[in-house]
Amino acid sequence: MTTLPIFPGTVDETGRPATLGVMGGGQLGRMFVHAAQRLGYFTAVLDPDAHSPAGRVSHHHVKTAYTDVQGLSQLAGLCDAITTEFENVPASALQALAVARPVAPGAAAVAIAQDRIQEKSHFMASAGGADVRCAPYAVIETLAQLQAVPDDLLPGILKTARMGYDGKGQLRVKNAAELAAAWAELDQTACVLEKMLPLSAECSVIVARSWQGDIVSFPPQLNLHVDGILAVTEVYEGNMPVALAARAQAAAKSIANHIGYVGVLCVEFFVVDDGSADGGLVVNEMAPRPHNSGHYTLDACDVSQFDLQVHAMAGLPLPTPRQHSPAIMLNLLGDVWFDATGQARTPDWQAVLALPGAHLHLYGKLDARPGRKMGHLTLTGADVAGVKATARQAAAILGLPGFESDE
């Protein structure tokens, strides 16, 4: 087993350089690889796609399935520590890797995030002290549980317990008949029914926790989703009431501490219009990895979420992040590469890159498809009003839906 900390730029007795590995080769893995390489680490990616964004920029690319025994053995042999870039990597694979190498986050934490039923139970046990709750819900795994759903949980949202993200595996239901039909449509798989609440906003908090239990946090991100996919993230002083932001940060840290989490964790919240001055806070779900809503940290903070991912897994000190500029992040889906008639086009990068404080990040994906995350654009500046104005210009140039000013 590798001894922590793992210092960058070092070699072992065989001459092998300090190497950090990641399960998954998407854009989150790519940005992790860049952060690790900037510090002087070698990197290795395990992903079956020969053209994966992270695999194409890494020192090593293990092109096997996530459960392939030989591939896992090869990755462990190359690396000193291993992380994951998405929550649907089989927890059993992370457990197997942990026999030989430090793995952060661990299989137990990832398994919780993979199952909404476990996740809800964890939230109820860990976040209550921060004055945060889950939405009222019911577990539906059997016909008897379906028939026992109380009327006051409807209307609601039926969500599959496993393999749901970006709005997938979710159906809105108004009454018992629609609930039964929706459960049948989802093949009567294990589900969670959540009561629909009057939402006023959505936000997220990203924390990083070390092997020793040290924990740091970015400020809460105010998020806008369109069709279940993140479209806009706004982070600046005053984006949320101060007391509400503090409660969200405290809840995210409590959730991470409760399971001894190691690595970067994103916790998503709903702000509920409950008549209080700041609104009620409801914890929605967690992602055991860096998160789309934290991409602004690459350009608006002195350390990014990916820097903290590297520090946490390698056992390095965790610096407290400092945001130096107000920021708005616009998600770039494959839709931007098509005009209103569905014809392929090249986005007007000339106009976008002429905007002040524009930071374009494209993920190296070869095929643009509607709904596919192709990149993001972060706008930074000296003041919030200026950043908002520039973000509106960028959204108009790219034809992005859903971005509206509050001015």
Quick: pLDDT tens for 4-60: 999 999 998 889 999 999 999 999 999 999 999 999 999 999 999 999 999 999 999
DSSP 8-state symbol, 128? G
CATH of domain 199-398: 3.30.470.20
DSSP 8-state symbol, 116? H
Determine the pLDDT at residue 200. Answer: 92
Q: Is the dihedral of CA 58, 331, 209, 299 positive or negative?
A: positive
The pLDDT tens digits of the residues spanning 49-108 come to 999 999 999 999 999 999 999 999 999 999 999 999 988 899 999 999 999 999 999 999
Report how far residue 123's alpha carbon sits from residue 136's, in angstroms, rounded to the nearest whole number.
Answer: 12
- Where do the CATH 3.30.1490.20 domains begin and end in the chain? 136-195
- Where do the CATH 3.30.470.20 domains begin and end in the chain? 199-398
CATH of domain 136-195: 3.30.1490.20
Query: Alpha carbon 43 to chain centroid distance?
Result: 21
What is the topology classification, in CATH, of domain 19-103? Rossmann fold (3.40.50)
Determine the pLDDT at residue 407. Answer: 45
Determine the pLDDT at residue 166. Answer: 58
Exposed, middle or buried by CB within 10 Å (0-12, 13-18, 19+), for 322? exposed
Residue in the structure block whose two tokens are 């239901």: 173
Determine the pLDDT at residue 163. Answer: 75
Which two tokens mark 178? 């629609």
Determine the pLDDT at residue 260. Answer: 95
**Which stretches of the chain score pLDDT less than 70?**
127-131, 164-167, 277-278, 402-407
pTM summary value: 0.95
- Where do the CATH 3.40.50.20 domains begin and end in the chain? 19-103
Query: Alpha carbon 41 to chain centroid distance?
Result: 23
